[in-house]
């Protein structure tokens, strides 16, 4: 009985020590750690800039996190309602969520996907695609790029 009591007490002490130690790692800030970030499309701190010239008039991009010239940048991409986004491709894969509007996206060789607010979409690297923002108002798309941000215009004969 004494062995069983000592074993249970030892196990309890070890378990509690482990939990306390683990908790101290969680609560200890890491030196150089980035601060959390929250943004909306109407955030006054966003700096909206122009899109590449082949994209529709009124198109804008705002960097949310990271450096667009480096890997792992997040952006808001905005186009006016009734805009057509010509066929193009990106060096990077894209992970996207439509924030507002209604966007119809067609990747070469695939059916058109209809994105409504809250819809997630994945676009493989270098797969040409086109899109159309419908009448539902401006389309704002959150995009997470794996590689540096780019958009390469693509005519009907060019595929990369």
- Alpha-carbon distance values, 39 to 44, 61, 131, 138, 148 (Å): 9, 14, 25, 18, 21
Say if residue 8 is in the same domain as residue 77: no
Total number of domains constituting the chain:
2
Residue 128 has pLDDT above 70, yes or no: yes
Within a domain: 117: yes
Q: What does the radius of gyration of the chain's CA atoms come to, in whole angstroms? A: 24
Say if residue 11 is in the same domain as residue 77: no
Residue 19 has pLDDT above 90, yes or no: no
Q: What is the DSSP letter of 23?
A: H
Q: Judging by beta carbons within 10 Å of its beta carbon (0-12, 13-18, 19+), is residue 94 exposed, middle or buried?
A: buried
Looking at residue 31, its pLDDT comes to 67
Within a domain: 116: yes
Say if residue 9 is in the same domain as residue 54: no
Q: What is the pLDDT of residues 39-90, one digit of tens each?
A: 988 989 999 999 999 999 999 999 999 999 999 999 999 999 999 999 999 9
Say if residue 13 is in the same domain as residue 77: no
Q: Which of 11-15, 42-46, 112-116 has the highest mean pLDDT?
A: 112-116
pLDDT band at 97 (very low <50, low <70, confident <90, very high): very high
Say if residue 75 is in the same domain as residue 121: yes
CATH code of the domain containing 146: 2.60.120.10
Lowest-pLDDT range of 15-19, 56-60, 95-99: 15-19
- Contact 139/100 with Cβ under 8 angstroms? yes
Say if residue 66 is in the same domain as residue 133: yes
pLDDT band at 18 (very low <50, low <70, confident <90, very high): very low
Residue 47 C-alpha from the chain's centroid: 17
Q: What is the pTM of this model?
A: 0.76
- Tell me which residue range forms the domain holding 20: 1-28
∠ CA 92-95-99, rounded to 5°? 135
**Dist CA 143 CA 98 (whole Å):** 9
Within a domain: 35: no
Say if residue 66 is in the same domain as residue 9: no
The candidate with the shortest Cα–Cα distance to 131, out of 102, 156, 97, is 102
Looking at residue 24, its pLDDT comes to 41
Residue 113 has pLDDT above 80, yes or no: yes
Say if residue 16 is in the same domain as residue 77: no
């Amino acid at each position: 009985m004494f062995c069983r009591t000592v074993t249970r007490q030892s196990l309890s002490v070890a378990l509690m020590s482990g939990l306390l130690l683990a908790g101290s790692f969680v609560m200890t800030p890491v030196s150089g750690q980035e601060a959390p970030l929250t943004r909306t499309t109407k955030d006054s701190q966003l700096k909206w800039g122009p899109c590449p010239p082949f994209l529709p008039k009124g198109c804008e991009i705002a960097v949310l996190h990271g450096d667009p010239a480096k890997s792992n940048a997040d952006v808001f991409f905005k186009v006016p309602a009734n805009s057509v986004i010509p066929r193009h491709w990106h060096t990077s894969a894209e992970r996207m969520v439509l924030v507002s509007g209604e966007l119809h996206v067609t990747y070469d060789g695939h059916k058109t996907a209809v994105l409504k607010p809250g819809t997630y979409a994945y676009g493989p690297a270098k797969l040409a695609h086109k899109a159309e923002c419908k009448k539902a108002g401006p389309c704002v798309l959150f995009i997470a790029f794996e590689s540096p941000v780019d958009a390469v215009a693509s005519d009907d004969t060019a595929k990369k």
